[in-house]
Structures are given as C-alpha cells and as structure tokens.
Amino acid sequence: MGKLRGFMEYDRIKEEAIDPKKRIENYKEFTLTPKDDQLQEQGGRCMDCGVPFCHSGCPLGNLIPDFNDAVYKNEWEKALTILHSTNNFPEFTGRLCPAPCEEACVLGIVNPPVSIELIEKYIVERGFKEGWIKAQPPVQRTGKKIAVVGSGPAGLAAAQQLNKAGHLVTVFERDNKIGGLLRYGIPDFKMEKNVIDRRLEILEAEGINFVVNTEIGKDISAEKLEKNFDAVVLCMGATIRRELPIPGADLNGVVQAMDFLPHNNKAVDGQHQREDKYLAKDKNVVVIGGGDTGSDCIGTSNRQGAKSVTNFEIMPKPADSRTEENPWPYWPFKLKTSSSHEEGSHREWSILTKEFIGDGKGNLKALKTVEVAWKRIPGERPTIEEREGSEKEWPCELALLALGFTGPEKSIPEQLGLTYDERGNIKGETKYQTNKPNIFVAGDVRRGQSLIVWAISEGREAAHQIDMHLMGHSTLPQKNTAGDLVAV
C-alpha cells in the first residue's frame, strides 16, 4: 500500500494550527489545511505491512491501507467510498477521535506512525468540497417503523444504517437541536456546528425524520413509543455525572463540566447570554479531571478570559512513551498534551480535592487539596494514600467537575422494564438486544462512557441486528470483530 518504502522517504506531518495566543480570541476551529501533495505523501507512508493492525485498533474496522493507497494515487473519490463503507461520519472522527488506529500502526513500532486521522479528515472534507457526498435515499421501503432515542453519534449512525435498509426511522432528541454531545458537549473550537448541520441535511434528504424538544418518558411515554414502533433503539448516552461529595460542594462556583460546556456552546450559537455562574472571566479556574472533558473546559475557560487555569488529576503523571504495561499494538496510557493544554494551564497530578472553601456568603473562594500516592498490589485494585503534611489551599472562584459519568439515566429503562449489567448500563448482550426483543441499545448507554468512534461502531452494529430481527436477514454490513484490540 502507498509508495514502496515511502515511509523511509517522507516524514510524518502534524496538522498545523494557529498560534495559541491568537486562536483563543474566538471559538472557531484553528487547524490549517495541508496541501494535497502533502496528504498524498502521508498516504505514501503507509507500509505494505502484511498484517495491518490499524484495522484492529480501529473500533470501526476502517480499511485504512486501502484509503491511504487511494489518496497516494490521487484517487480521492475512491478513497471517500472506501472510508464511508465503514464510517458514517468521518468528519466527526477525523476531528475528535484519539486515533487508536495510529497507536496500532506497524510503522509506529520504530518510526512515527502514519497520519491516519489527518488523512481521514481531509478525505471527507474533499468529498464535501467536490459535492461527492449526496443523499442516497433507499429505493424501496419496508414499512417497518423504528424509533431512535438520542441523536448523538450512536443514534445518528443507527438511524442512517436503518434508513439505508428501507425502514422508516424517527429520531427523538430532548434538546432543541440534533447532535447530542457533538452539539452541546464538544466545543466549537474542536468542531464547528456547521459540520453537523451539513451532514444532517444529507440525513434528512435521505428520509430520516428528526423530532426535537421531545423527551421520551415525559413528552411521550416509553410505553407509547414501544407500542407505536416495530423496534426502538436507545442511544441516550451515559449522562449521570459523577459527583464530588466533599464539604462545600454546594457553594456557588462549583459547577459540573457538562453544565458549563453546553451553556457555553449555546452562547456561542447565539441562543442566550452567558450567566455569571458559568463564566470564567477574571476568575481562578480549577478543572478537576484530566480527560477530554477536562481539556475542553480548559480551552473554553481560556477563551472566556480566565485569570488562571489549573488542572487537577488524581492519577499519577503518565510516562512520555509506552511502558511495559501496555505494549504495542495496545492503546498506550501515556502523557497527552492537548491543544487546550498548549493554550495555557497549570497541571497537577496525584492530587485529591478535600474541601471547597467558601467566602462566608455562599461563594467559592478556594480549594483545599492533599497529595496522594498510589499503592499497587498484584491482583488487587490500586489504593491511594494521602501524603502527610501535603495539604494546600488554592485560590479558586470557579471549580469545574470533569469527573466522568456513572451510567445512563434510569427513567426510560425503568418505564420499559429493562435490565442492567453489573456496571449499571442497560444490558444489551452481543446482539444489542435487551430483555425485551423489540428494544435495542447502542453506544454509551450499553458500554458505558467511551469514544465517538465506539459510538458510531455501536450504532452500525445495532442497526444490523435490528434489521435481522425485523426482516430475518440483512444486507447491512457487520464488522468482523475477530482479533480486535482492546481500545479505550
């Protein structure tokens, strides 16, 4: 694939970006488009490696060497067809995926891996630019009606696949616009919302019906939904936020990240003015949690004009490169410096927040922390020990809790009488089918908080199983998971 020994001739390139001091002046995407010949060279770096582990690293099973080869040969429309055969929304994953495929790239054993995500992004961008991406409504309809609850990446992927099979698909979204966390969780500087809107135009033209401002279980009973549709697929995500139950947690200024980010996104969209409790301007901000959501809070706080931004992580600082605990081709838990970190933040590891301190008027003024050490015993869960004498106070008027999620909301599954797995997710087994044969689940609601690429994969797989359930057979593709790697 690619150019013979191209990996020896061409160096890996990174997507260039606007200077951090300049880009935090607005909420627009800040990456700079590489030239086509640069992208072709990157496609030429793909090795004829015999066993492309990138397939297994990718939850979607993207045919990576194939589209790399097409790009190298300047066959962009062919590359798009190959990419779309496994990925409904490469414009989302090309911006937001942490690229487990690159960590599984064979070239990455000894050299920088192929720039797979970069190539993926600009294949689909070329497709939109050239007008190659058009609505493809089904030729025939089956008459089967399917409800999709939730319009995030899992719901959208399931909807498009089921619509391709000829079913009549209605997507229900409780918020005022379609997109789920793509719309109101991901900041615009990571993905501007016109990227969602242009894809929605395609989906609507293909015949999918979208219903917003409608919460199942409240506006429409779950029982009525089940009665009026031949099948229902729940793609509501895992939206119960993890709390931090320590003294002072009720102070003004202690805010959940997933209240802060949607509020800001709606302000960027012109839907409302920012409320002071969600405003970082001139405040000392502490983001508690070191994942992608925490990173998004950092970037947003800097754009709002925060006085300072500090990031707390309870885990130890990761190594700069792979360790023996996660060898190639598995996902490496190594130090990640995001674009938001580059824009300005102080990072602290192995630190535990013990108390939120108020000013006597109900407002947050500081945090009290302690350093921790992790104790690991083979065969047992790690435990933490507080370091005596390491207590410290940090000035803080806005603390953002980016601590992840504990599972799906209970209203709909309880109304439908669904069962849960041991982790508190809705039990969906291998066929994505719940204990009720006509109710299916996909995405975070089934597997727990995960990646966008996993959500799309889950939506596609659930669609295949629903089609099989309704029709007895299916022409929808199903990913061969044999040999899949454990991805994040």
Greatest Cα-to-Cα distance within the chain, rounded to the nearest angstrom: 71
Give the pLDDT confidence score for residue 479 in this predicted structure: 77
349 plus 431 within the same structural domain: no
Backbone angles phi, psi at 75, to 5 degrees: -105, 70
Beta strands in 114-260 (DSSP E): 145-149, 168-172, 209-211, 231-234, 240-241, 254-256
153 plus 276 within the same structural domain: no
Confirm whether 478 is domain-assigned: no
Query: What is the CATH number for 112?
Result: 1.10.1060.10
223 plus 257 within the same structural domain: no
Whether the Cβ atoms of residue 47 and residue 1 lie closer than 8 Å to each other: yes
Q: What does DSSP say about strands 392-395 and 364-375: parallel, antiparallel, or unpaired?
A: antiparallel
**424 secondary structure, DSSP code:** S
Confirm whether 140 is domain-assigned: no
- Is pTM beyond 0.75? Reply is yes
Confirm whether 234 is domain-assigned: yes
CA–CA distances in Å: residue 65 to residues 2, 47, 165, 166, 473: 8, 8, 28, 31, 30
Query: Which has the minimum average pLDDT: 8-17, 174-183, 376-385, 395-404?
Result: 376-385
**Average pLDDT of the chain to the nearest whole number:** 95
Residue appearing with tokens 């589209």: 67
> Mean of the pLDDT values across residues 222-236?
96
Domain count, the chain: 3
349 plus 317 within the same structural domain: yes
Confirm whether 113 is domain-assigned: yes
351 plus 448 within the same structural domain: no
> Is residue 326 very low, low, confident or very high in pLDDT (cuts 50, 70, 90)?
confident
Give the pLDDT confidence score for residue 482 in this predicted structure: 43
One-letter identity of residue 463: A
419 plus 347 within the same structural domain: no
104 plus 84 within the same structural domain: yes
Whether the Cβ atoms of residue 263 and residue 278 lie closer than 8 Å to each other: yes
Question: Quick check: 344 pLDDT over 50?
Answer: yes
Q: Which of 90, 193, 185, 265 is nearest to 444 (CA)?
A: 185
Query: What is the CATH number for 375?
Result: 3.50.50.60
Confirm whether 398 is domain-assigned: yes
Give the pLDDT confidence score for residue 483 in this predicted structure: 45
206 plus 235 within the same structural domain: yes
Can you read off the two tokens belonging to residue 92?
Answer: 């989302």
153 plus 261 within the same structural domain: no
CA-to-CA distance for 288 and 310, rounded, in angstroms?
8
Query: Which structural domain, as residue segments, surrounds residue 118?
Result: 6-130
> Is residue 487 very low, low, confident or very high in pLDDT (cuts 50, 70, 90)?
very low
373 plus 257 within the same structural domain: yes
Question: Quick check: 307 pLDDT over 70?
Answer: yes
Alpha-helical segments (H) within 269-371: 292-304, 339-342
Confirm whether 302 is domain-assigned: yes
- Tens of pLDDT, residue by residue over 72-85, are 999 999 999 999 99
Burial of 37 (0-12, 13-18, 19+ CB in 10 A): exposed
Confirm whether 482 is domain-assigned: no
Beta strands in 315-424 (DSSP E): 346-349, 351-358, 364-375, 383-386, 392-395, 398-401, 405-407
231 plus 281 within the same structural domain: no
One-letter identity of residue 150: G
261 plus 182 within the same structural domain: no
> Mean of the pLDDT values across residues 348-364?
97
Whether the Cβ atoms of residue 366 and residue 393 lie closer than 8 Å to each other: yes
**Of 372, 403, 434, which residue sits at a domain end?**
403
